[in-house]
Amino acid sequence: MRTSNRRAVLAGLGGLGASSLAGCVTQVGASGRASSGLIAPARPTFVVPPLAPLRMSADRITKITVCLRPFRAAGPRLDVETVGDKRVVHNYGHGGSGWSLSWGSSTIAAGKALEGGTKEVAVIGCGALGLTSALLLQRAGAKVTIYAKERTPQTRSFRATGTWSPDSRVADADKVAPGFPALWEEMARTSYATYQTLLGLPGEPVSWSDRYTLFDGADETRQHVEGPVRFAEYGDRLRDIVPSPHDLPAGSHPFPVGRVRHGISMQFNVTEMAHMLTSDFLAEGGKIVTMTFDTPADLARLKEPVVVNCTGYGARALWKDETITPVRGQITWLAPQPEVRYGLYYRHVSVLPRPDGIVVQQVGDSDMWGYGVTEERPDRAEAETAVATIAALYAKV
């Protein structure tokens, strides 16, 4: 297979360096003089704070979880169709971006569901898309019932990493409709704005964290493998709202690698987020009913005239949507370290600290990692390899 170094790493996380994790102080900023003679604003000085070391060893693994990203080359499905006497609004197929795009995508789906003045809506699915759709519909005045085979913590959404990743495996750049990039931007901006209103809450459903991406010679980039898909990258469309990362000067950080990029990124404590959305929905009068649908014709069982279909990867079987391709991802959980408030990306392993555990994820050396893989059983060897990669880094600090 032909490969090319296409992207200089992810929305992500980095590694450690030169001196020690006890921290170091650095002037990163530089001031410039504008040609008019006015002093241009100095770039803010960034001081690398003391970084508590990650405690990486296989004996701290508490669980290993796996889920499948529901990838559609055309992007998430948001069209409307009629099935029997029901109007069905689709809201599925968000790849690795389901939490990040949820509020924006569900705002569009809820708007379509309420066209025509419907006041009673069924939502199928209780993951990120189902919960946000249900809440938005309810807050717009509809009476809403969620029908789902699984709810938290059994949903695939519950097994997500929990980082702002709105264009992660969301579409194939060569297969989307011409209007999709603008639609994506609308979803991402709505979600981003909504998540800003959920900061500072108990349990930290949303927070910001420092991220360090460590570039380590030959391993510094993920490879774009020429294959069936060219994953779309739309991050540049959000440059005005999402903070940009910057390289740290050599010697200004504690990591033993040549180059380190620092950024800040939004993250989600998925456990608390799912709990909060469920509690809010129920507290505001919503109902959740356990129900499995085998075919679209089963929707006839519902009393509501309008249905929002948020079945995620489940739509492949239920709706016979073979345009959904699974992209497997595995998370290795280590015991929580509340003192760690930063994430890392090093040698294709990402680490994110959450209140409910340290999330360690092998993301692979190519962007086709996990593509087409349906295996949802945990792979202990993969988990231990990821942990060992980060342990080796800390051994050098």
Ligand X SMILES: Cc1cc2nc3c(=O)[nH]c(=O)nc-3n(C[C@H](O)[C@H](O)[C@H](O)COP(=O)(O)OP(=O)(O)OC[C@H]3O[C@@H](n4cnc5c(N)ncnc54)[C@H](O)[C@@H]3O)c2cc1C
- Judged by CB under 6 A, does residue 195 bind ligand X? no
- Judged by CB under 6 A, does residue 12 bind ligand X? no
92 φψ region: left (φ > 0), alpha (ψ -120 to 50), beta (else): beta
- Judged by CB under 6 A, does residue 120 bind ligand X? no
Residue 69 or 262 having the CB closest to ligand X = 69
Residue 60 or 69 having the CB closest to ligand X = 69
Q: How far is the CB of 256 from ligand X (least distance, A)?
A: 27
Size of the site for ligand X (CB under 6 A): 40
Residue 204 or 259 having the CB closest to ligand X = 204
Q: How far is the CB of 267 from ligand X (least distance, A)?
A: 8
Angle, helices 128-139/270-283, rounded to nearest 10 degrees: 30
Q: What is the CA radius of gyration of the chain?
A: 22
Residue 190 or 311 having the CB closest to ligand X = 311
Mask: binding to ligand X, 323-342, rule CB under 6 A, as x and -? ------x-x-----------
- Judged by CB under 6 A, does residue 209 bind ligand X? no
Nearest to 74 by CA among 93, 99, 101: 93
Distance CA 347, CA 370 (A): 17
Mask: binding to ligand X, 270-309, rule CB under 6 A, as x and -? ----------------------xx----------------
- Judged by CB under 6 A, does residue 122 bind ligand X? no
Mask: binding to ligand X, 229-268, rule CB under 6 A, as x and -? ----------------------------------------
Q: How far is the CB of 314 from ligand X (least distance, A)?
A: 2
* Binder among 24, 48, 67, 123 for ligand X (CB under 6 A): 67
Residue 128 or 171 having the CB closest to ligand X = 128
* Binder among 12, 61, 100, 113 for ligand X (CB under 6 A): 100
- Judged by CB under 6 A, does residue 353 bind ligand X? no
Which span (158-166, 220-228, 245-253, 272-280) binds ligand X, by CB under 6 A? Answer: 158-166
- Judged by CB under 6 A, does residue 319 bind ligand X? no
The answer to whether the beta carbons of residues 158 and 270 sit under 8 Å apart is yes
Q: How far is the CB of 205 from ligand X (least distance, A)?
A: 13
Which span (23-31, 153-161, 246-254, 382-390) binds ligand X, by CB under 6 A? Answer: 153-161
* Binder among 10, 24, 109, 126 for ligand X (CB under 6 A): 126
Residues in touch with ligand X (CB under 6 A): 67-70, 92, 94-100, 124-130, 148-150, 155-157, 160-163, 165, 292-293, 310-314, 318, 329, 331
